[in-house]
Amino acid sequence: MLSHMVIVGGGQAGGQAVETLRRRGHLGPVTLIGDEGLLPYQRPPLSKKFLAGTLARDRLLIRHAEYYAEHSIEMSLGFAATRIDRERQRVEIADGSHVDYDQLLLATGSSARLIKVPGAELAGVHYLRSFADVERLRAELVAGSRCVIVGGGYIGLEAAATCRELQIEVMVLDAADRVMSRVVSPWVSQFYEAEHAKHGVQIRCNAKVSAFVPEAAPKYAGSARVAAVRLDDGSEVRADFVLVAIGVSPNDSLARDAGLACDAGILVDEYCRTSDPRIFAAGDCARHPSIHYGIRVLLESVDNAFEQAQSAALNMMGIATVHDKVPWFWSDQYDLKMIIVGLAQGHDHAVLRGDPATRSFSVCYLKEGELIAVDTVNAAKDQLGARKLIPARARPDPRNLADPAIPLKDC
């Protein structure tokens, strides 16, 4: 009998999984259930070219509609999967229908973390996770208007750069003492703070938001709009609109309600299998054991969604495939391409490689002498070197790392 493969979630991981199933020869039925009502699409352009209005909508799509029809992939779009009945091997959908599965992949991604302060519900307070979010935000993108971005992570900063391209005044507020503090070294944070300042973005760190303040006299009853952001020191920053970009939370409630093991994400093994052997998970929603680093991780990146979904699809087909990749991640801001290879957590030494003033440099992270991660800014060769050295568990001499004249791959 040919197994029915069902995928819940039509994002990067879901789109990749169905493609892998067909490319690797699965001949049985495949159904993808997505709540967004759109074909699987890429999110990175949502804070970059698509937000700027320079990328057409259909360029977001991972595959065009014809692909799914030609490959007999049943698309159930526009309604969420609401329940997994593990005993009957059935997924229930919000429109009242259901789909029976032999193997199930959860690729439900993550959702923008909501801010819990008074005024969070005011019109003009936005998030940036989906196509629909961009459509709502687009109406606000008027040259000369004032945007306050809450959160100086990569999404907040990419949106800041895009807003500046559109001649919008931008202030970024970050509760930490430097931007992108969760993912990069202080050298990289300082560099990006200076670059944003050059482009006219005001950045305030150690700034904790306590409320969004409505306009004094709303134009229409019940349509109060945000007019300012209040900080916990009592000061206020005027805003025509606000973008909240304070991180994401994994969408694991469907799995949790079905009794699958979860811990801030769906727990999977190295074969992307959950605590139910017929159910797999991949992408932003899955917490997996990183064999290379010896820790459990939940990675929010296209690379991970892509690679893990491929491994999950193969395992669903019975082709045992361990998901064990050194991750990488990119962020585009202005003309700067940052690529982070590996995971820096737990490092005991960091080496600056090159001069940030040249706008091309890297930071190498070591743990007990082993190179575990590299942040690169406009440094493509270092990025390629890092992809070679880190999986090989190289132990480069820190003096060589600090010398940009020595190619990283030869360090």
One residue of 44, 218, 391, 398 binding ligand FAD per CB under 6 A: 44
155 vs 386 by CB, closer to ligand FAD? 155
Q: Which of 7, 18, 26, 34 binds ligand FAD (CB under 6 A)?
A: 34
CB of 385 to ligand FAD, least distance (A): 20
Q: Which of 4, 28, 29, 36 binds ligand FAD (CB under 6 A)?
A: 36
Q: Which of residues 289-308 bind ligand FAD (CB under 6 A)?
A: 300-303, 305
Interface with ligand FAD includes 155 (CB under 6 A)?
Answer: yes
Which residues 175-234 are close enough to bind ligand FAD by CB under 6 A?
none
* β-strand partners of 394: none
Please report whether residue 250 would count as binding ligand FAD according to CB under 6 A.
no
CB of 126 to ligand FAD, least distance (A): 12
Least distance between ligand FAD and beta carbon 112 (Å) = 8
The one among 251, 311, 333, 360 contacting ligand FAD by CB under 6 A = 251
Segment contacting ligand FAD by CB under 6 A, of 6-14, 171-179, 218-226, 339-347? 6-14
| Sites for ligand FAD among residues 95-154 (CB under 6 A) | 107-110, 128-129
For the chain, how far is it from start to end, CA to CA, in angstroms? 53
Stretch that binds ligand FAD, among 39-47, 169-177, 208-216, 353-361 (CB under 6 A): 39-47
C-beta closer to ligand FAD: residue 46 or 173: 46
> Per CB under 6 A, does 312 bind ligand FAD?
no
Per-residue x/- track, 321-360, ligand FAD (CB under 6 A): --------xxx-----------------------------
Q: Using the rule CB under 6 A, which residue among 5, 6, 7, 8 binds ligand FAD?
A: 8
Q: Could you list the residues that contact ligand FAD (CB under 6 A)? A: 8-14, 33-36, 43-44, 46-47, 80-81, 107-110, 128-129, 155, 251, 254, 283-285, 300-303, 305, 329-331
